[in-house]
A and B are shown apart, each in its own frame.
With several copies, the nearest count.
Chain A
């Protein structure tokens, strides 16, 4: 893999992390002293993806804005890696009229026509609409693809099974991605899933399955390259499961009392930085510049969000119907 690509992956991950760190700060900032989930500039549930950036970066490196991505309740890393305008994203999270969904959607309901991005707060239910996007692309004679993401917990939901079967049957250009972060809220993988690797399940549908261990962004990049090329070439769907890591709890406020392996988690971003450094691709200075640029973008986006108007209460009933 060439250095530019590797640096690109690193930059994407840093941007995503920087964004979520900013959200994390503002999310908690004004909920004290009595922590109230509904209070503050950013209210509601907040599922952050810190630790899972390699999945999004590795997959989305092969996509253009014409390709579709449907993500989960934990969508920021994919939104950012797929090129969503940070300002629109931030403004939506802050519930502003300038947000992607004019403040109607919130962080689990991001719909971006310009990058064909969407997500859903209902687990596994992002898969089926991705089939429809892929179907449309195919009918329109384009080589565009749709990427559909779920967690390993979601892979035990019926919609997973139905979607992968149908995509295989109709040879739709879909790449199914499973983020296996070992946990579904408080339930560990071996209490939810009767086998070790969801890649095995690919054989139930006659499609290719791969599992990437170690949260390796380059491993993801490789597997996604093959899968996406095959999808573009009309060879139908593939399934990629990535063993990744949930660094910050299921949602903000989750005390994670059920979990005792927190000490052993490896943050993939510094890990990748060291690897790139020891390969001579990254220097401390360059890393600093990358981080600074990421923070600049994030600050700009957050500033845009905070200075944007809230929606008007009078408009609450707008947009139910087109």
Chain B
């Protein structure tokens, strides 16, 4: 389904960080389509606190790359209104943790207008936002919250884990006629000032391409156990799978890439194959993604599961500041390994 064949000779790729891949996707769409513009806090001269807009101001100027006041309700709504009038805004919420100051604009307006209008009004925009912890930013700057967004109808929710997907999903999101929440984990951006992560740098085609929204990716095939994950946790899952392989456990790793739509087919197929499922989710455990996956499986057929369903997620505690505590609640490769061992009995 990926609309570019990266093995073809005509495709030129370079290694880019996730952040640079995202920006390239935005930039290419801005060149193609005058109605695309970017707004948010510190997206201009600063280039985005997590480098999601670096260089765009220089390239496209202040009429298309706009620093806003710290007025999320006003500028989220501005994005919605501009989208209604035919523009295609990309609006950044600096940290997803700030959703509470503007959630009404997001879920009562952006998300619902298309439905309330009986399909007569479209709201094509991208709401991009930084998620995730692991660097001691505390309870108000470290959350994932994709479960919160996915629970409310009317928003697509995409969560890239690597440079290739980041660019392709950004392009798809911009071209989508719906509001798409694009959640990028700070830890996958490849930022020079955060813990280095080899999977945050990868081959990205120069050309424009789409990664379809709603299609999970089986990033590692295996027969013993299925790890369903997304965003930074995919990296940990792959690290764990590498380690487990040396111990004779063959893990399949699924990168969901999008929560809405959720790729139920890929989940069910893999669960059916391995009979053992671990969800690894950096969002809060209860009433979120991990539960939804349990429901998907057991409303299809609970007998798919040879052993009890398992989930590794933040155990319903605000993200602690101190590193010892934070790493006690975040999913890590080590904890994935021990969960898998437990599943293997």
Within 8 A of B (CB), among A94-129: 95-96, 99-106, 108-109, 111-113, 116, 118, 120-125, 127-129
Which among A53-61, A272-280, A305-313 touches the partner chain? Answer: A305-313
Which among A16-24, A31-39, A215-223, A238-246 touches the partner chain? Answer: A31-39
Chain A: number of interface residues, binned into ranges: 35 or more
Contact A317 B84, beta carbon cutoff 8 Å: no
Task: Specify which chain B residues have a CB less than 8 angstroms from the CB of A68 in the assembled complex.
Answer: 81, 85
Q: How far does the Cβ of A47 sit from chain B's closest Cβ, in whole Å?
A: 11
Contact B108 A120, beta carbon cutoff 8 Å: yes
A136 part of interface (Cβ distance < 8 Å)? yes
Task: Specify which chain B residues have a CB less than 8 angstroms from the CB of A130 in the assembled complex.
Answer: 77, 81
How many pairs of residues, A versus B, come closer than 8 Å at their CB atoms?
Answer: 295
* A133 nearest in chain B by CB position: B81
Measured between alpha carbons, how far is A44 from B134 in the docked complex, in Å?
9
Chain B: number of interface residues, binned into ranges: 35 or more
Measured between alpha carbons, how far is A322 from B125 in the docked complex, in Å?
12
Q: How far does the Cβ of B135 sit from chain A's closest Cβ, in whole Å?
A: 3
Measured between alpha carbons, how far is A1 from B49 in the docked complex, in Å?
44
Q: How far does the Cβ of A203 sit from chain B's closest Cβ, in whole Å?
A: 18
Q: How far does the Cβ of A253 sit from chain B's closest Cβ, in whole Å?
A: 6
Within 8 A of B (CB), among A156-176: 156-159, 162-163, 165-166, 169-170
Main secondary structure of the interface of A (DSSP, over half): loop
Task: Specify which chain A residues have a CB less than 8 angstroms from the CB of B37 in the assembled complex.
Answer: 139
B198 part of interface (Cβ distance < 8 Å)? no
Chain B residues proximal to chain A, CB less than 8 Å:
37, 41-42, 44-46, 49, 63, 66-87, 89, 97-98, 100-101, 104-105, 108-109, 112-122, 124, 134-141, 153-154, 156, 177-178, 192-196, 315-318, 320-325, 327-329
- Extra contacts besides A103-B324, A125-B73, A146-B81 (9): CB < 8 Å: A34-B196, A68-B81, A70-B81, A103-B118, A105-B117, A133-B81, A163-B71, A187-B41, A316-B320
Chain A residues proximal to chain B, CB less than 8 Å:
34-39, 43-45, 68, 70, 95-96, 99-106, 108-109, 111-113, 116, 118, 120-125, 127-137, 139-140, 146, 153-154, 156-159, 162-163, 165-166, 169-170, 184-187, 191-193, 253, 257-258, 310-322
- Lowest 7 CB-CB distances: which A-B pairs, in order? A128-B77, A132-B81, A102-B118, A106-B321, A38-B135, A95-B322, A103-B322
